[in-house]
A and B are shown apart, each in its own frame.
Chain A
């Protein structure tokens, strides 16, 4: 019997090592430990200056909350957020300029369930503290798309697009769940088509967006949701599909919604 148990473990173990299927990281103020707080602050400020030099008022930025070697094939980043150039009122009354970060984060499992997300605005240092790699990915939308995105984020439509039910492997074509990347895709789509109607957005995305396909073994699909409630698959039919930096970058490039796409390394 012991041999059977051991055999079972050995049979399943390779699935976890060779096929890490999921690539999401909507962790609120995640602290990866990769950078000290001063390093994260410097990394964030360097990216702020890079974006400012390019004149970007709105940028889409992704970090990797998991080591790259543990990522599924073809995917390099986990958590994406909007970086928006803002007037900031300092506590001492001064007016400052810098980038604010607009995230979708899931709960911590204590105050809020991990299967429920909320929209949170924080700052570049918070964003970089969650990175485990020395680079982030950046998409600079075209000026017209920046205008639209800014208008959208500053409108109630932004919150209306949010679906609180969180899934690490959310389908971009179904609104039962959402994660940081599918939320950002919905925001981009709402700006591109100038609509806040979820059904219209889903219809449009189905026609024009090519999602990332996540390889998942049958055991991961079957038992994943039992082990981690964030791995909901009830919105998936067929292969597991979701939105990622890679698929969103391709969508924006193919539809002439972005000016630049690049990787930014920590100085």
Chain B
């Protein structure tokens, strides 16, 4: 009976957090789900293409937005670089005022480089 009480209490506690937990699912970035999605889109006749954002030179090497990575660049230098980029962007003339063109193809992320254990054929 004590076990039943404990179980009921735990269930109730778990339930209190359920609303939040229900909001999230696990990372599936380069997994089977991703592969299935790519296959389904292709089968539907939608044109797809693997692509990567062309990174401005100012960002190259900062590693700020790489999938799966977490980068931190701290200190005043980061702010200084940011302000320079602000200024560069501000001088770019016409901006965000006229229609833009977008490819009809659906851009998707490729899976990461293969990671197969290397076992060379013995000679």
Contacts and interface: CB of A to CB of B under 8 A. Distances in A.
B59 to A, nearest CB: 5
A13 B72 contact: no
Contact of B26 (A66, A110, A154): A110
Contacts of A27: 23-27
Given A2-B4, A89-B52, A160-B78, A155 B59 contact: yes
B1 A2 contact: yes
Contact of B16 (A86, A130, A223): A223
A256 interface: no
Interface residues of A, number: 122
A147 to B, nearest CB: 4
Contact of A157 (B26, B51, B78): B78
A87 B15 CA distance: 46
Question: How many B residues touch the partner, as a band?
Answer: 35 or more
A23 B16 contact: no
Nearest to A226: B13
Nearest to A145: B96
B23, B59, B87, B100, most chain A CB atoms within 10 A: B23
Interface string B40-67: 1101101011111111101100111111
A36 B40 contact: yes
A125 B108 contact: yes
B22 A116 contact: no
B64 A12 contact: no
28 contacts: A16-B18, A27-B23, A30-B24, A37-B41, A45-B106, A52-B99, A53-B100, A54-B99, A66-B22, A89-B52, A100-B53, A102-B65, A111-B27, A117-B70, A118-B69, A122-B67, A125-B106, A125-B108, A129-B37, A154-B56, A154-B59, A155-B58, A155-B78, A155-B84, A156-B64, A196-B82, A197-B79, A228-B20
Interface of B: 1-2, 4-5, 7-9, 11-29, 33-34, 36-38, 40-41, 43-44, 46, 48-56, 58-59, 62-75, 77-79, 81-90, 92, 95-110
